[in-house]
Each structure stands twice: as C-alpha cells, then as structure tokens.
C-alpha cells in the first residue's frame, strides 16, 4: 500500500468517526458553548458609582477567557486591543479572574505611582523569589521580615554620593579592562573570559590588517557584566567566579518559563534544565561569597580566595548588615543577591550590544557620535620608548561619565531609542482596594480598578505604538533630540532622554538601578566607540538580526559575528 492510499484510508476513518452520533454531539456541544460564550461575553465601557469600568473584548471559552489568544500571539493580540481601545484601558478574563491592561502613558504613570496600600507589587517579588531565584517557600516569613530593611538599602543606587562612588568604581574597572576587550590572542587559554565566550579568533587579511572575529553579543554582554559584577561584589567575586555572567544568561533565557512553572523537574526541557543548572551554580557561588563576607565583616580571615573584600560595594555591605541583623541563613542571602545581580545585569548589559550595532552600522551617526563624545571619552596610544620588542597597550585617557550624561545628546538619544525598541517589560499590580485611575487633564470620569483584580502595564504597547512613534520598528535616535538654532548660527541639540518614551519605561526596563544603568550603558558604549573599529566580516553587510524576547530585553535569535580592530589613535607621551 502506497502513502497516498494510507492517507486516504486514515482520512476516511477519521470522517467516519466524526459522523458517529456521540462524537458529533460532543463537537456540536463544544461549538454551541463557544458561540454562546462569544455572544454573551465582552462588555462595553460602563459606569459604576460615577466611575467607568474598563471595556472587555469577547472570548470563546468559559473560564479560560482570553488565555488562548495570549498564549498564541501575546504581542499581536495586545497590539490589536490597544488599537481597538485607544482610551488606554481594557480588561481581560483569565482563568476566571479580571486582569486590566493599561497602556495610555498618563494612566500608566498614575498606576505605577499608586501607593502600596492601593496597588501592591510586592506579591510579585515574593512569587519570583520562590519560582525563579531559589528561595524556599518555608523561608518566605524571613523574606517578609527583612523586606523593608532590604528595600531601604536601595538608596545606595539613587543617593548622589553612593551612586557616584559606584559609578566611579565601574569607570575605573572599565578603563583598566578596555584594552583587553580584544587581546588578539589566538589561543583560548591566553584570552579573556568574555573573548572565550564569544569564540574570538584572530584574522590576518591579505592586505596586512589584523582583526578579531567574534560574536558581538557574547563579547559585549559578558564584558559589561564583568564590570558591573566587580563594581558591586568586588574583584574577588569577579575573579573567582568568572563564569557568573554565563550563568546569568543561561538563567535569563528561561526566566519566563520558570516564572510560569511550565515544566516539572522530570520533563527534560533543554532551556529549563540549563536554567536550573545555572541557578544552582550561581547560588553556590553566592553562598561561598556570603560565607567569606561574614568572616570579613567579623574581622576573621575569609581565606586565600577572599583577600580583597574591602572593595565590595557599599550596597552589598549594607545588605549584609541587614542579613546579619535578622539572622538570615546563607542560602536565603544567596537567593536575595542572585535576584539583585540578575536585576542589575540581565536588562542593562545586552542593551550595550544593541547600541553598538545600531551606531556602527550608520557611518554618519558614528562619526557624529565620536565627535560629540571626544571631550569626555578619549583613547590614546602611549609612546613606546622600549623598542619593537615591547607592546604598549592603548589607554582610555579620559572618561567623564557626568559629561556623557549631561552634554552628549546624540549618545543619550541613542540610549533612549535603544530602550524603546529593544525592551518590553511589564509592570504588575494587585489591587488591594478599589482605586480610580485618571489621566492628566482627563475630563471624563476615571476608570475603576476593583479590589482583588490585577492591573498590568505591557510597556511595549506604547513603545511600539505607531501613533506615538512613526515607523516604530525602526531605530531612529533623532526622534529623541530637539534641535534649536543657536546665537552663532550653529544648531543646538538637546536630548529629550528616556522620559520622551513616556510611561516610566526607563526605570521599569532597567530595574531598581536605572540611574546606574544609564551611566553604565553610556560609559561602555562611549569607551568602545573611542577605542575600537567594528565592521561586518569580509564580504558581508550589516544586518539587524531577528529578536527573541527574554524577561525584559530582546536578544538576537542568532550570533552576530563581526570583525574588530583597534582604532588608529593619537600617540602621547
């Protein structure tokens, strides 16, 4: 019997089965329920006690509600509802519960800024600590016991003096390591950890030029993460656990699946298995670190691997004091700081790659950017007075982070546009009590968010809204720049900054350390622009890869291989 006959027989048998009275009755019943649900579900905007209730689109399946559409195409489904409900609010039914989606910027700001007594988001933090970061459910009472004290220590990420100290430390690490971003060493044993992760290889061209071929994604995000980790956790941690950035990316790739608890331990889902292994190793590293830090703070010898604990950041030491005050076990401390390190790295570090890719593939913008940053990020080649047998590396002679933030509108606009296009995080709220949501200058009555319901902000709905950002899929940094004529006839550029995106997207995308993240992205991008040339491999052109969504930031779906060399720099000395 050939394949055609087999297929025909199978089709006939299936048709016959559907014609059986019982099967037909079941199918008709399901169809009738779906049609009835669709006709009776869904509501228009209504009023209750002087406030408006958000409209709800219809759905086909009782109890499940809109879950199938969300699971099938989350972004497309929500974008269609954004266009259908331009006033900025609509509700969905999921598993019998009401979930309100807010996308109008003025309403988003009102929701995000509501007090915890009305709209709580601490429940999500506790949930993720258990589902993702390795906290045991039995330790949740300890988590809540220290929660307020730990939260108060985030002042070290926003207070001017503490932020400056952390940024200065990061800038120092960056200046020290930038010449080794690429080493031109062919053997992995002689390369830096970020080069090995990027599969860096030396390329000597027929014209006599020397490049390093590497995956720009891995090269950049591991390099940036190393700077951040060393600044926060100290150089001992960064040296002893040089694999920590790799563990973060393995964990982050399955962050959403871990949060949704899609797979039990016994199902061999590769990305989830890798994420769990990465989490286990990361927690082990942090356990050892806190064991040593405890000894250091008690003026005891932490061991040979931990002789430079003095350069652990003020934030980490302050958190350690809270842990000691509440007698928190080392395993819980490890989970808490794993959450912090993920928050400080997973969202910011990958964006440096996107900024570099977009800037380098635009030669005109690249030159404008280099001209703009030159007073604040300047690389030079020290004079070699020791002969050809000695190689003198280039140095980053100047790195003025405040100047980059305050006086480089193109660079800051590139940051804002990269955040808009390549992030898409959500803000989540649980309505502890009924609350009315009203936007700025809104003459109509506000929307009532009922007690016991959820409210969400998918920030990407606004960031990719063509009514707010024409051609939203294109990277156009100039949309965040204002140009005005100066007295001398020159054009004065002013960056609107991330606030031009609206809806608190900057701090939501970058996590608790958004002020540090801004400076981290600007300093790394400017430093690399100042010292290195990046181009596609011979015979290839710049392309923007297809993206995949992680928890907040979009990542390229495949490697982005480039050729890198050092710039011809001014010789000094």
Q: Is residue 32 part of a domain?
A: no
Which residues lie below 8 Å from residue 199, measured CB to CB, with a gap of 6+?
A: 214, 215, 218
Same domain for 386 and 248: yes
**455 - beta bridge partners?**
100, 429
Q: Are 123 and 172 found together in one domain?
A: no
Is there a domain that residue 561 lies in? yes
Say whether both 401 and 296 belong to one domain.
yes
Q: What is the pTM of this model?
A: 0.90
pLDDT at 156 over 50: yes
Do 441 and 414 share a domain, yes or no?
A: no
Report the CATH number that the domain containing residue 518 is assigned in CATH. 1.10.630.10
Question: Does position 37 have pLDDT exceeding 90, yes or no?
Answer: no
The verdict on 72 and 183 lying in the same domain is no
Burial of 455 (0-12, 13-18, 19+ CB in 10 A): buried
Does residue 343 lie in a domain region?
A: yes
Do 353 and 389 lie in a common domain? yes
pLDDT tens by residue, 429-488: 999 999 999 876 555 678 999 999 999 999 999 999 999 999 999 999 999 998 888 777
**Co-location of 259 and 125 in the same domain:** no
pLDDT of residue 359: 99
Measured CA distances, 344 to 140, 411, 553 (Å): 23, 21, 13
State pLDDT tens for residues 195-235.
999 999 999 999 999 999 999 999 999 999 999 999 999 99
Q: Is residue 191 left, alpha or beta, with left meaning phi > 0 and alpha meaning psi from -120 to 50?
A: beta
* pLDDT of 4 above 70: no
16 is a domain residue: no
- Is 181 a domain residue? yes
Q: Is residue 35 part of a domain?
A: no
Query: pLDDT band at 562, cuts 50/70/90?
Result: very high
- Answer yes or no: do 420 and 550 share one domain: yes
Handedness of CA 200, 362, 544, 476 (dihedral sign): positive
Contact 501, 420 (CB under 8 A): yes
Of the residues 439, 458, 477, which one is the last residue of a structural domain? 458
**Final residue before a domain boundary, out of 458, 480, 509:** 458
**554 and 471 assigned to the same domain:** yes
Dihedral sign for Cα atoms in the order 462, 468, 474, 479: negative
pLDDT in the model for residue 455: 95
Per-residue model confidence (pLDDT) at position 540: 96
Domain end call among 411, 436, 458: 458
**Confidence class of residue 64 from pLDDT cuts 50, 70 and 90?**
confident
Alpha carbon 349 to its chain centroid, in Å, reads: 8
What tens digit of pLDDT does each residue of 241-298 get?
999 999 999 999 999 999 987 666 666 789 999 999 999 999 999 999 999 999 999 9
Instruction: Residue 54: give the domain boundaries.
Output: 41-132+428-458
Q: CA angle at residue 188 from 390 to 560, to 5 degrees?
A: 105
For the cut 70, the answer to whether the pLDDT of residue 509 exceeds it is no
Percentage of the chain exceeding pLDDT 70: 89
Is 104 domain-assigned? yes
For every residue of 460-509, which 3-state class applies, written as one string? Answer: HHHHCCCCCCCCCCCCCHHHHEEEEECCCCCEEEEECCHHHCCCCHHHHH
Condensed to tens digits (0 to 9), the pLDDT of residues 409-423 reads 999 999 999 999 999
The model's confidence at residue 76, banded by pLDDT at 50, 70 and 90, is: very high
- Which pLDDT tens digit goes with each residue over 268-282? 789 999 999 999 999
Q: Residues 89, 189: one domain? A: no
Q: How many domains does the chain have?
A: 2
Range with the poorest average pLDDT among 5-9, 115-119, 227-231: 5-9
Asked, for residue 232, whether it belongs to a domain, the answer is yes
Q: Residue 566 pLDDT more than 80?
A: yes
Give yes or no: residues 145 and 91 share one domain. Answer: no
- Same domain? For 52 and 160 the reply is no
pLDDT-based confidence at 503, cuts 50/70/90? very low
Separation between Cα atoms, residue 280 and residue 274, nearest integer Å? 10
Of 62-71, 88-97, 509-518, the range with the highest mean pLDDT is 88-97
């Amino acid at each position: 019997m050939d394949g055609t006959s087999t297929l025909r027989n199978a089709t006939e048998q299936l048709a016959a089965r559907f014609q059986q009275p019982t099967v037909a009755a079941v199918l008709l019943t399901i169809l009738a329920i779906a049609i009835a649900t669709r006709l009776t579900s869904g509501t228009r905007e209504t009023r209750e006690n002087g406030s408006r209730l958000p409209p709800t689109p219809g759905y086909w399946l009782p109890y499940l509600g809109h879950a199938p559409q969300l699971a099938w195409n989350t972004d497309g489904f929500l974008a269609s509802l954004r266009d259908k409900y331009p006033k900025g609010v609509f509700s969905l039914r999921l598993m019998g519960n009401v979930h309100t989606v807010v996308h109008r910027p003025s309403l988003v700001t009102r929701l995000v800024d509501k007090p915890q007594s009305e709209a709580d988001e601490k429940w999500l933090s506790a949930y993720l600590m258990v589902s993702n970061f390795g906290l045991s459910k039995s330790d949740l009472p300890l988590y809540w016991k220290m929660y307020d004290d730990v939260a108060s220590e985030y002042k070290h990420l926003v207070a001017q003096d503490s932020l400056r100290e952390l940024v200065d430390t990061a800038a120092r690490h960056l200046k020290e390591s930038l010449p080794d971003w690429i080493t031109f060493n062919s053997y992995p044993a002689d390369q830096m950890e970020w080069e090995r992760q990027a599969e860096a290889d030396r390329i000597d061209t027929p014209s006599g030029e020397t490049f390093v071929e590497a995956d720009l994604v891995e090269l950049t995000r591991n390099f940036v993460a190393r700077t951040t980790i060393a600044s926060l956790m100290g150089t001992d941690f960064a040296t002893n656990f040089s694999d920590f950035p790799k563990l973060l990316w393995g964990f982050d790739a399955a962050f959403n699946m871990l949060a949704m608890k899609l797979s039990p331990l016994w199902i061999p889902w590769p990305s989830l298995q890798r994420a769990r292994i990465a989490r286990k190793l990361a927690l082990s590293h942090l356990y050892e670190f806190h064991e040593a830090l405890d000894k250091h703070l008690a003026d005891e010898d932490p061991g040979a691997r931990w002789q430079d604990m003095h350069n652990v950041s003020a934030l980490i030491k302050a958190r350690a004091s809270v842990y000691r005050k509440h007698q928190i076990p080392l395993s819980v401390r490890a989970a808490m700081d794993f959450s912090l390190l993920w928050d400080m790295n997973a969202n910011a570090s990958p964006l440096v790659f996107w900024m570099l890719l977009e800037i380098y593939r635009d030669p005109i913008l690249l030159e404008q950017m280099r001209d703009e940053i030159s007073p604040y990020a300047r690389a030079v080649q020290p004079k070699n007075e020791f002969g050809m047998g000695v190689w003198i590396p280039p140095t980053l002679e100047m790195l003025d982070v405040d100047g980059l933030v305050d006086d480089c509108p193109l660079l800051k606009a590139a940051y804002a546009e990269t955040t808009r296009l390549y992030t898409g995080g959500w803000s989540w709220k649980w309505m502890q009590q009924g609350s009315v949501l009203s936007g700025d200058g809104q003459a109509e009555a506000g929307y009532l968010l009922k007690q016991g319901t959820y409210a969400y902000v998918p920030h990407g709905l606004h960031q990719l809204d063509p009514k707010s950002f024409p051609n939203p899929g294109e990277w156009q940094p100039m949309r965040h720049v204002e140009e005005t004529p100066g007295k001398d006839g020159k054009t004065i550029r002013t960056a609107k900054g991330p606030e031009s995106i609206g809806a608190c997207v900057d701090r939501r995308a970058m996590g608790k350390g958004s002020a540090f993240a801004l400076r981290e992205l600007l300093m790394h991008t400017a430093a690399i622009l100042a010292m290195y040339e990046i181009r596609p491999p011979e015979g290839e052109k710049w392309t923007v890869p297809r993206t995949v969504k992680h928890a907040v930031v979009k990542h390229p779906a495949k490697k982005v291989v480039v050729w890198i060399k050092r710039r011809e720099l001014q010789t000094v000395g």
